[in-house]
Homo-oligomer: A and B are copies of this chain.
């Protein structure tokens, strides 16, 4: 199959590189929505594959890359470093016309690597805006991606057919495709996803001494801390790659955030309560308007 436009996205076999929270949740959704499809998986962890086979999440799994040889669509749902290494070493055996989608949380590095794919293979970057703080196949849920934005970053000059097919694939999963340039993607998620993560990490680490000093301290932890610190429980295996492939954008947003926090500290310290109230009210207005009522942006579906 040389022509990716000929791919029947509703029934073609699909291969996963990495079967953790995201890959597993996608596989579960596909098994639910298109039960006759063959789902294949490559994972380094035998236990993960055994579990997925036993639960009927996949049809075939192996620690050998050749298990994906016949899949016309391959989804890379592994840490960024694993994706990069797989792209570099395992793609030359794939059939012409194969589409490769990834789900990493940074896109520039991966899209650049995809531009070096062997001729006849079609790469496209992807990033489902869904997740939770637990990881691994056992945390997978078939509804994890439902209603979530699924950002797609096409390669420069890639055939429109590849983008269209992947937008259809995203809709098939119950998610909303949103096409965006890879560099803009990385700049944006640095602000909306990587920044909150590093804030959460810094919050937890700044309370380390207090908590370890007296376990009764935990009586003071209410829902506010629980939510604000939730992201810190993300797997460092995943997040270190996200940091190292989006360094500059994250540093920029983190420094801008620190300036805001320092401004708040100064207002508080100097007793400038009317100005402080203004800051609190601004955040209140923005946060409540984002999560209440209509969401104009959800009407936009540039993949259509």
Contacts and interface: CB of A to CB of B under 8 A. Distances in A.
* Copies held by the complex: 2
Given A208-B282, A296-B215, A268 B287 contact: no
Interface string A202-222: 111111101110011111111
Contacts of A88: none
A283 interface: yes
B208 A286 contact: yes
A13 to B, nearest CB: 29
A193 B277 contact: no
Interface stretch (A27-35, A61-69, A96-104, A129-137): A129-137
A253 B265 CA distance: 10
Nearest to A295: B218
Contact of A131 (B222, B228, B281, B286): B222
A29 B244 CA distance: 50
- Chain A interface, >50% SS class: helix
A27 to B, nearest CB: 20
Nearest to A265: B254
Contacts of A297: 215-219
Given A191-B210, A222-B129, A286 B240 contact: no
A228 B271 CA distance: 26
Interface in A253-291: 253-265, 268-269, 271, 273, 276-277, 279-284, 286-288, 290-291
Nearest to A248: B269
Interface string A183-209: 001001101110111111111111110
B199 A243 contact: no
Q: How large is the interface on A (under 10, 10 to 19, 20 to 34, 35 or more residues)?
A: 35 or more
Given A225-B196, A228-B196, A232-B287, A240 B129 contact: no
Contacts of A220: 129, 149, 151, 185, 188-189, 191-193
Given A129-B219, A148-B222, 20 more contacts: A131-B222, A191-B210, A193-B220, A195-B203, A196-B203, A198-B264, A199-B228, A199-B261, A201-B279, A212-B286, A219-B298, A224-B231, A228-B230, A233-B288, A234-B284, A236-B277, A247-B268, A247-B271, A258-B258, A258-B261
Top 10 A-B pairs ranked by shortest CB distance?
A129-B222, A196-B228, A204-B283, A232-B283, A201-B283, A236-B280, A202-B261, A202-B260, A232-B287, A149-B219
